[in-house]
Amino acid sequence: MWDYSETVMDHYRNPRNVGKIDDADAIGIAGSLSCGDQLKIYLKIKDGIVTDAKFQTFGCGSAVASSSILTEMIIGKTVDEVKKITNKDIADKLGGLPPEKMHCSVMGYEALEDALKNYGHDDMVDLDDLREEPVKEKIVCTCFNVTENLIWDAIKQNGLKTVEEITNYTKAGGACGKCKALIQDIIDTYYHKEEKPVQMTAAQKIIRINNIIEKTISPELQKDGGDITLVDIEGNKVMVKLRGKCSGCKNSIHTLKSFVETTLKDTVDKNIEVVEVE
Ligand code: FES
């Protein structure tokens, strides 16, 4: 049982501003039904001030409470003030959220950011169409559609330092776990940007490839009864052998390219090519 504050319980039991604004000036959406929760927020804006806000959500009690309090926080504020609201402000206003539920406050922040991105757009004739534009941001976690920018913002706004914290705040990494190496890389980049080697020597590269295979890729494959062995490295060509359930599996090429090669490209060198050898 989660330990919720009285404010969370109050907003969950009596959510404010539930519904839709038919002639909204801005609409934002975050999450997706396939990931378990979604929030849609509608804003009415006059002379640069948010005069009304409503929301529709499909999600847990914390999602309802976060959305409800967010609408109260923004009504009456100027657009510039609203732009400064972070997920931490939402969680603080609720009297805190359990770490595992912080992603609900991030969803509120994301929906608000999406709405403000659309506001003032020249072609606001059909806001729903506008939002159907393809997302061009890099997706780090394909299970939950979490982008690199969202993870970066969550680290920046909440001082997150571990993959587990990122999962609590954004859900990224909470299903198959294949994105965990990428999430770790974003954390490392955020905190040690200046320490990141501009160019690795050949020896450093081999050690890094070996480490990533042993500590990140192999444990993930083992979860499904498979495994991987590094056979050789020639320049950017990494030769591996798949073992256990991965060996001879009809998805082995997919595993090799979409997981092994992508992980090494993202964490070591974008020119790496992974090939399977006997
Ligand atoms: S890709 Fe992130 S949990 Fe599956």
Which of the residues are catalytic? 35, 104
What pLDDT was estimated at residue 109?
92
Give me ligand 1 centre to Cα 167, in Å.
10
**Residue spans per domain, the chain:** 6-131, 139-195, 202-276
Q: In the predicted model, what is the mean pLDDT of the chain?
A: 83
Our answer on whether the CB atom of 142 is closer than 6 Å to any ligand 1 atom is yes
pLDDT, tens digit, 9 for 90 and up, residues 149-203: 888 888 888 889 999 999 999 999 988 888 888 888 888 878 765 444 456 777 7
Single-letter amino acid, residue 76: G
Q: Does residue 129 register a pLDDT over 70?
A: no
Single-letter amino acid, residue 119: Y
User: Which residues on adjacent β-strands are paired with residue 187?
Assistant: none
- Predicted model pTM: 0.54
| pLDDT band for position 34 (cuts 50, 70, 90) | low
Nearest CA to ligand 1 atom 1: 141
Give me ligand 1 centre to Cα 56, in Å.
26
What pLDDT was estimated at residue 125?
42
Give me ligand 1 centre to Cα 179, in Å.
5
Q: Does residue 78 register a pLDDT over 80?
A: yes
Our answer on whether the CB atom of 61 is closer than 6 Å to any ligand 1 atom is no
Of the chain, the percentage scoring pLDDT greater than 90 comes to: 29
Q: Does residue 205 register a pLDDT over 60?
A: yes
Our answer on whether the CB atom of 186 is closer than 6 Å to any ligand 1 atom is no
Q: Which CATH class is domain 202-276?
A: alpha beta
**The domain made up of 139-195 is a member of CATH 1.10.10.1100:** yes
Per the CB < 8 A criterion, the answer to whether 28 and 118 are in contact is: yes
Our answer on whether the CB atom of 258 is closer than 6 Å to any ligand 1 atom is no
**The domain made up of 6-131 is a member of CATH 3.90.1010.10:** yes
Higher pLDDT, 262 or 36: 262
Residue 35: CB atoms within 10 Å: 18
Same CATH topology for 6-131 and 139-195: the answer is no
Per the CB < 8 A criterion, the answer to whether 163 and 188 are in contact is: no
- Token digits of residue 87: 């997920």
What pLDDT was estimated at residue 193?
53
Our answer on whether the CB atom of 139 is closer than 6 Å to any ligand 1 atom is no
